[in-house]
Amino acid sequence: MRARGAPVSQPRLKPFIEELFREALSAVDPERLVREAIDLHHNAVLVRGIPHRLERHGRLVVLALGKAAVPMARGALSVLGDRVHRCVVVPKSDGADDAELGLCHVVPGSHPLPDARSLHAGQALLEAVQGLSRDDLVLVLLSGGGSALAEVPRTPLDLNDVVRTTECLLKAGADIWLLNGVRRRLSELKGGGLARAAAPARIINLIVSDVLGSPLSVIASGPTVEPEPTSEDIARTVKQLGVWFDLPEVVRTTLETPERSTLRLGNVLQSVVLADAAVLAHAAIEACRVRGLPAVVCGTRYTGEASQFGRFWATLARSVREERVPWAPPVALVAAGELTVTVRGGGRGGRNTEMALAAALTLAGARDITIASLASDGDDGTSGAAGAVVDTATIDALRDLGLDARDALQRNDSATVLAAVGSLVVTGLTGTNVNDLYVAIVD
- Distance between CA atoms of 122 and 348, rounded to whole angstroms? 30
Question: Taking the CA of residue 74 as centre, how many other CA atoms within 13 Å lie in the half-sphere pointing to its CB?
Answer: 15
List every span in the chain annotated with CATH 3.40.1480.10: 14-23+278-442
**Beta-sheet pairing, 137-143 with 202-208:** parallel
Cβ atoms of 388 and 408 within 8 Å: the answer is no
CATH topology of domain 14-23+278-442: glycerate kinase, domain 1 (3.40.1480)
Residue 328 DSSP code:
P
Q: Which of 252, 292, 296, 300 is nearest to 275 (CA)?
A: 300
pLDDT for residue 112 = 87
- Which residue type is seen at 384? G
pLDDT tens per residue, the chain (443 residues)? 343 444 467 999 999 999 999 999 999 999 999 999 999 988 899 999 999 999 888 999 999 999 999 999 999 999 999 999 999 999 987 544 444 687 899 999 998 899 999 999 999 999 999 999 999 999 999 999 999 999 999 999 999 999 999 999 998 888 888 999 999 999 999 999 999 999 999 999 999 999 998 999 999 999 999 887 665 688 999 999 999 999 999 999 999 988 765 557 899 999 999 999 999 999 999 999 999 999 999 999 999 999 999 999 999 999 999 999 899 999 999 999 999 998 889 899 999 999 999 999 999 999 999 999 999 999 999 999 999 999 999 999 999 999 999 999 999 999 999 999 999 999 998 989 999 999 999 98
Concatenating the DSSP letter of every residue in 261-321 gives P----TTEEEEEEEE-HHHHHHHHHHHHHHTT--EEE--S-B-SBHHHHHHHHHHHHHHHH
**Beta-sheet pairing, 369-375 with 436-442:** antiparallel
pLDDT for residue 77 = 96
Query: How many Cβ atoms are within 10 Å of 200's Cβ, its own excluded?
Result: 11
The size of the chain, in residues, is 443
- Distance between CA atoms of 20 and 370, rounded to whole angstroms? 13
Cβ atoms of 207 and 143 within 8 Å: the answer is yes
Beta bridge partners of 53: 44
Q: Is 61 left (phi over 0), alpha (psi -120 to 50) or beta?
A: beta
Distances (CA, A) of 405 to 254, 375, 385, 412: 42, 21, 18, 10
> Which burial class, exposed, middle or buried, applies to 231 when counting CB atoms under 10 A from its CB (0-12, 13-18, 19+)?
exposed
Q: What is the dihedral of CA 64, 65, 66, 70, to 10 degrees?
A: 30
Question: Taking the CA of residue 84 as centre, how many other CA atoms within 13 Å lie in the half-sphere pointing to its CB?
Answer: 25
Q: Is residue 294 reached through a cis peptide bond, with omega within 30 degrees of 0 on the bond before it?
A: no
Beta bridge partners of 204: 139, 270
pLDDT for residue 94 = 54
List every span in the chain annotated with CATH 3.40.50.10180: 29-275
Please give the class, per CATH, of domain 29-275. alpha beta
pLDDT for residue 7 = 43
Residue 254's H or E segment, with its range, is helix 249-256
Cβ atoms of 90 and 97 within 8 Å: the answer is no
> Which burial class, exposed, middle or buried, applies to 256 when counting CB atoms under 10 A from its CB (0-12, 13-18, 19+)?
exposed
- Distance between CA atoms of 43 and 355, rounded to whole angstroms? 51
- Distance between CA atoms of 242 and 18, rounded to whole angstroms? 39
Between 30-37 and 69-80, two packed helices, what is the crossing angle to 10 degrees? 30
- Which residue type is seen at 60? L
Cβ atoms of 206 and 38 within 8 Å: the answer is yes
- Three-state secondary structure call for residue 13: coil
- Distance between CA atoms of 48 and 46, rounded to whole angstroms? 6
Q: Is the dihedral of CA 315, 319, 321, 327 positive or negative?
A: negative
Beta bridge partners of 357: none
Concatenating the DSSP letter of every residue in 44-82 gives EEEETTEEEE--TT--EEEEEESTTHHHHHHHHHHHHGG
Q: Which of 281, 275, 233 is nearest to 436 (CA)?
A: 281
Beta bridge partners of 369: 442
- Which residue type is seen at 68? A
